[in-house]
Amino acid sequence: MITVKADNIQALYAIRFFLGLTEAGYFPGLEYLVGSWYSPGELSKRSSYFAVAGVSASMISGPLQQAVLKRFGESSMPAFKWMFVFDCIISFPIGIYTMFVDPNTPSTTDAWYFSKTDKLVALERRRRIGAQLNTRQKYTWAKIKSFFSTWHIYVFPVLFLCYNNTCAAIGQPTFTQWMKVSLGLSSFYYNNYPSILYGSAIFVTLTIAYVHDLLGGKLNYIFVGAYFIFMIFGFGVNLKSSHGLTDHFSKMI
């Protein structure tokens, strides 16, 4: 809600910086939580549900933004700021709900909807895949230093940075910007048309996740590599042509 009070771009940047800082642990935390309950052969599907939840929000936010622009276009407060109000109205009850249903990990859960048998089954599932059973340990210097002794902490952030900066139509709103800035289309088009892209992304994500789990859930590197290959191809097509159908196709990629 405090974003509504931002009267210049510098204030908006500052607020968004601190918002990003406070929510930085949310994504890896949720992925860790999901990974605590499922085996490698089950994880892709469950993780994809979390991923497509965000994509679903993007699919809805465009039409919602268009409706807000139409409804509050003559408001004393700029119409785009009403989106921050609606974001708060939607997000606040979800945050409260999460506080009551967050299951934590199998060894630490006190969720009211799990029976004693459910908790024992969850621990047994972790034992069978060789996962750590006790996930609640004190933080010591030795433990903190152990975080930096694994290759994951060095490779995965770089990989995610590469993904996030590929400017894919899903990861970044490049499709929306292309329609708004390059084509000069009205807000009806650049707010509504990307929803088709997001809907397609949900279908593709779930399909790949189910296929990956059927294959055992250990071929992540193949799918990640395929993603970057397709992105490189799209960029190549985009650089070669700046007009016509080829350019349009590359933007969609």
| Number of structural domains found in the chain | 1
Q: Which two tokens stand for residue 49?
A: 């549900």
DSSP state of 183: S
Domain-located, residue 234: no
CA 14 to chain CA mean position, Å: 22
Which position has the higher pLDDT, 241 or 123?
123
Quick one: pLDDT band at residue 162, thresholds 50, 70, 90? Answer: confident
Phi and psi for 134 in degrees, rounded to 5?
A: -95, 105
Q: Is the pLDDT of residue 196 over 70?
A: yes
Question: What mean pLDDT is predicted for residues 43-57?
Answer: 90
Domain-located, residue 225: no
Q: Max alpha carbon distance in the chain (Å)?
A: 63
Instruction: Summarize pLDDT for 52-77 with one digit per residue, the tens.
Output: 988 898 899 889 989 988 888 788 88
Report the half-sphere exposure of 47 (CA within 13 A, side-chain side). Answer: 22
- In this prediction, residue 93 carries a pLDDT of 93
Instruction: Summarize pLDDT for 181-191 with one digit per residue, the tens.
Output: 888 989 899 89
Quick one: pLDDT band at residue 253, thresholds 50, 70, 90? Answer: very low
Quick one: pLDDT band at residue 238, thresholds 50, 70, 90? Answer: low
pTM for the whole thing? 0.79
How far is 118 from 218, CA to CA, in rounded Å?
A: 27
Cβ pair 63, 195 in contact under 8 A: yes
Instruction: Summarize pLDDT for 90-149 with one digit per residue, the tens.
Output: 889 988 998 899 999 998 999 999 999 999 999 999 898 888 888 877 888 888 888 899
How far is 85 from 229, CA to CA, in rounded Å?
A: 40
Domain-located, residue 95: yes
- In this prediction, residue 246 carries a pLDDT of 46
DSSP state of 184: -
Give residue 59's domain range.
Answer: 2-218
- In this prediction, residue 54 carries a pLDDT of 85
Domain-located, residue 118: yes
Question: What mean pLDDT is predicted for residues 36-57?
Answer: 89
Cβ pair 50, 31 in contact under 8 A: yes
Domain-located, residue 112: yes
- In this prediction, residue 249 carries a pLDDT of 45
Domain-located, residue 228: no
pLDDT above 70 covers what percent of the chain?
Answer: 91
